[in-house]
């Protein structure tokens, strides 16, 4: 029984860390694009709700995408010649 409790506590911690990372990333991105703090906060809250509450399977797809971009981001930019 202790290992089940430990696994759920670890999963909750991972969800919390992913939520914080994604919210900060989305807020910084939206603040740079919109330059309005109120709209950036509203957009961040809306996207966090959609990703973490409504469609929770998107969290793992987004996490895998971020890891792939972190590892291969410069190569992807060179191949596609995008200025992101």
**Residue 56: φ, ψ to 5°:** -70, -20
Total count of domains within the chain: 1
Predicted pLDDT of residue 46: 92
Which residue numbers in the chain have pLDDT < 70?
A: 1-7, 82-84
Predicted pLDDT of residue 84: 56
Domain with 72, as residue range(s), is 2-80
Predicted pLDDT of residue 1: 46
Predicted pLDDT of residue 21: 85
The pTM of this model reads: 0.66
Residues 34 and 79: beta-carbon distance below 8 Å = no
> Tokens 């190569």 label which residue?
75
């Amino acid at each position: 029984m202790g290992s089940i409790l430990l696994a759920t506590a670890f999963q909750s911690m991972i969800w919390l860390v992913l939520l914080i990372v994604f919210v900060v990333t989305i807020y910084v991105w939206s603040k740079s694009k919109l330059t309005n703090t109120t709209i950036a906060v509203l957009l961040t809250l809306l996207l966090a709700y959609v990703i973490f509450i409504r469609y929770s399977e998107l969290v793992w797809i987004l996490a895998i995408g971020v890891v792939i971009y972190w590892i291969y981001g410069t190569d992807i930019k060179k191949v596609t010649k995008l200025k992101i």
